[in-house]
Every structure is written in C-alpha cells, then in structure tokens.
Amino acid sequence: MFRSIFTVSGFTLVSRLLGFARDVLIAKYLGAGATADVWVAAFRLPNLFRRIFGEGAFNAAFVPIYSGRLEEKGKEAADDLAQRTISLMFVILMITFVLAFIFMDPLIRLMSPGFVEGGRLGPAVSASRITIGYLVFICLVAALSGVLNSRRVFGAPAFAYVVLNLVFIITLVGVIPQTDEPLTVLCWSVIVSGFLQLLVVVLACIRRGVKLRFRKPVIDDDMKKLGRLMAPGLVSAGVQQFNLIVGQAVASLQVGGVALIFYADRINQLPLGLLGIALGTVLLPEMTRKLRGGDEKGAQVTLTQGMELALLFVLPATAAMLVIPVPIMHALFVDGEFTAAAASEAGRVLAAFALGTPTYVLAKVLQPAYFAREDTKTPMRFTIASAVVNMVLAYPAFLWLGPTGCALATSVAGWVNILLLWFGLRQAGFLKVTA
C-alpha cells in the first residue's frame, strides 16, 4: 500500500510543482484583477463538472463494483462492465457539454453574478465556451483511471495530471509572450492538455490488456446498481461544488476577489494534492479488496495507517501557512501584474484557508471507509450539513472580512464535515484508534 501511495504522491508532487510554476506565470501575465477573474471562472467550470460526474461520484461508486467484479469473475467480466459504463458515461458527457455550451451565459451569471458589472461577463462566457470541452476529456480520464487503479496501476493516471501542467507551462513560456490574446490561448491549451491526458491513460489501458471499445449504451442491472450508488455521490459532489459556487459568487462582488481566492487556495491545496489525493486513490481499492475477502480488521488497520500518514505530513504544512502566510504569497507570486498589495491580501486569505487544511486531507482518508462498504449516502448527508454551514456563513463573513471571510467559512464547514465523518465511523465500529 505504501509503495502505491508514494508512487501517486511522487507524480502528484511533480504535477503540483509544475502547477505552482503555472500559477506563478499566470499571475505574472494576468495579475489579480478582472482578466484573472475571468480566467479562474472559465478554468473552474469544467473542473466543477469533473468533480461532480468524474472522479468524485463516479469513482466512489464504480471502483468498488469494478474491483469486486475483477476479484470474483475475472478480467473479461470486469472489462465488459467498464466498456458498458464508460460508453454510457460518454453519451451523458456529450449531452452535458452541448447544454452547457448553449446556456453558458445564464450559467456564468449564476456562478459569478458580480461579473455582470465591470465588463467581465462577455469575456467569461466566451472563454468558458472553449474550456467546457475539457469536461469530456477529463471525465473519461477519471473513469479510465478508476479502471487502472482497481488493477493496482497508479503511475499512469497520476502522470496524466503532470501532462496538464506541462502543456500550460509550454504555452505560458513559449506562446503567451508572443500573443495579444493570452486569455484565449490559455483556454485552448486546456483542450489540448485534455486530449493528451486521455491519450496517456488510454495507452496505459492498452498496455495492461484492458479492452476498450464503444458499446451501445444500455440501462441494465449493472448500470442501475451503479446509478443507485452514484446518486448520493452526485448529490454530495454537487453540494461540494455548490459550496465553491457560493464562495465564487460572493467573492465576485469584489473585482479581483475570485482571483485572490484562487491563488491562495492553490497553495492551500498543496497538502491535499501531495498526499490527500494519493491516500484516497489507494485506500479505496485497498479497503474494498480486504472487505471483499472478509478481512475487516485489515481494513481498519489500513484506515488507521492512512490517518497517521495524513496527519504526519499535513500538520507541519498547516503550521507554516498559519504562521507566515503573507511572506509565502509575497515570495511566490509578486512579479509582473501581481502586486505586493495583492500578495498581502492573498496571504490573509491563505491563513483563513489553512485553518481547514487538515480537513481536506482527512476527508480523503475517511470517505473511502464508507465507499468501500458501498455506503455513499452517509458521506452525502454529512457533506450537505457542512455545505449548509458554509452557505450560512459565507456572505456575512465576506461583509466582515472580504475574500478572507469566504475562506474562513469554507474552513469552518470543513471541520463540520470531518467531525461528522469521524463520529459516524466510530459509531458504526469501523474506526478503532490504537495508541
């Protein structure tokens, strides 16, 4: 298990470092004003759908079913399930893409109402109509990554996210300085990276003998079971993304507010990216296999080890972001269009986010304990409860502290979610803490 975790973490480390370089370059060329707000909104939109339809709800439901089919009936039966599932998913994604493209104007108005004033709405709609195509590519990447992870192949899916940032950096260094339309070029680089990411996981599947072919979508018993398991996950992921929309909508009332939250959150998400995602990726198939084999104690040990590893790495990072947030943002971002004043404000946002940093990583550890038992409803209820907390706090906190208040509301909601997940596992007897 630890080898798999460090494999994913290694590639994720490279991806996050490249992602950081990407964000520094974007900050240099776009700053933290209106253009940066438009870019963040356009880039966040397809990723919002990805987290709802792709790696969040889909993998939480699909990986346990696929892993079980692989263990009980072999590779051929598992491949058959994957083909039928991904074919149906592709059709749903294309319908979603077309609808989002058509109704992009009201969608942006809903997500960023502050854009209506100040001339940000039109550019945001145009940019988002380009980036929304990334939705199809990245959700298919997430689905095929679930297949590979179930077969204990973690390197290629993790490397696919390195590709995204490589394309961005090449674009920012080689193309952006030569163009008068940096925003448009950045948006098209998203589409190019999505295609290359999909190519990486498709080639990995072929090398591992996974049979890939399109099947006529049919709603059979397997798809109905997957749908039943996905439904709570869709609600849960949807609520989580609605949480982000609430924060973005409130922050959009201040020019540059969306960008400030984005830059601060990029640093805040480093512990989640370096370890949390790796833990969640490895723990779900690992605990599923042990539970399928009747090894309840082994599954509990795996969960406990995951929590210990998470806290070992996340607590020092949290301390640094709480103690020196402003110097961190000054050292990393002040250049070009990104001013010292913007860095100071982003530092305050980072400190507010850091209060909740441990919750993001621990959620990636605790949620698989439910998903491995094919329980997607309980985490959904907890996510809804935390989202309500965030929605209640976001606007008054913004009036009090500006964008920093939005980040603070998110952190409080994160702790509500973790406490509910923790006590839920303890009450069910799935979590036994040992000295």
DSSP 17-39: HHHHHHHHHHHHHHTTSHHHHHH
Is residue 362 within 8 A of residue 215, CB to CB? The reply is no
**Which residue pairs, CB below 8 angstroms and at least 24 apart, start in 403-406?**
403/251, 403/254, 403/257, 403/260, 403/261, 403/345, 403/349, 404/345, 404/348, 404/349, 404/351, 404/352, 405/352, 406/247, 406/250, 406/251, 406/257, 406/261, 406/349
From CA 197, how far away is CA 208, in angstroms rounded? 17
In a domain? residue 434: no
Residues in contact with 366: Cβ distance below 8 Å, sequence separation at least 6, in sequence order: 303, 307, 418, 421, 422, 425, 431
Pick from 256, 309, 312: nearest CA to 282 = 309
Residue 398 CA to residue 202 CA, distance in Å, equals 44
* pLDDT at residue 240, as a whole number: 65
Does residue 364 fall inside a structural domain?
yes
Q: Is residue 40 part of a domain?
A: yes
Q: What is the DSSP letter of 211?
A: -
Question: How many structural domains compose the chain?
Answer: 1
pTM: 0.71
Q: How far apart (Å, rounded) are the C-alpha atoms in residues 140 and 190?
A: 15
What pLDDT is stored for residue 237 in this prediction? Answer: 65
Q: Could you tell me if residue 11 is inside a domain?
A: yes
Q: Coil, strand, or helix at residue 272? A: helix
Picking from 331, 319, 385, 384, the residue whose alpha carbon sits closest to that of residue 357 is: 319
What pLDDT does 232 receive? Answer: 74
235-278 per-position pLDDT tens digit: 766 666 676 677 777 888 887 788 888 888 888 877 766 666 66
Element (H, E) at 333: helix 325-333
> Residue 210 carries which side chain, given as an amino acid letter?
V
Asked if residue 260 lies in contact with residue 339, where contact means CB atoms within 8 angstroms, the answer is: no
Range of the domain at 224: 2-428
Looking at residue 389, its pLDDT comes to 92
Decide if 433 is inside a domain. no
- Residue 207, CA distances (Å) to 83, 148, 211 in order: 16, 11, 10
The answer to whether residue 435 is domain-embedded is no
CA dihedral 135, 255, 321, 168 (to 10 degrees): 40
Within 13 A of 185's CA, how many CA atoms are on the CB side?
19
Does residue 210 belong to any structural domain of this protein? yes
Whether 76 is covered by a domain: the verdict is yes
Taking residue 24's Cβ as centre, other Cβ atoms within 10 Å add up to 18
Q: What is the mean pLDDT of each run of 10 residues along the chain (435 residues)?
A: 61 78 85 84 80 65 80 83 90 92 92 81 93 92 85 82 90 90 92 95 90 83 82 69 74 81 83 64 71 76 79 87 92 83 91 91 82 80 89 90 90 93 84 57
Query: Please, which residues bridge with residue 338 across strands?
Result: 335
pLDDT tens figures, 105-163: 999 998 888 888 777 889 999 999 999 999 999 889 988 988 888 787 878 888 888 89
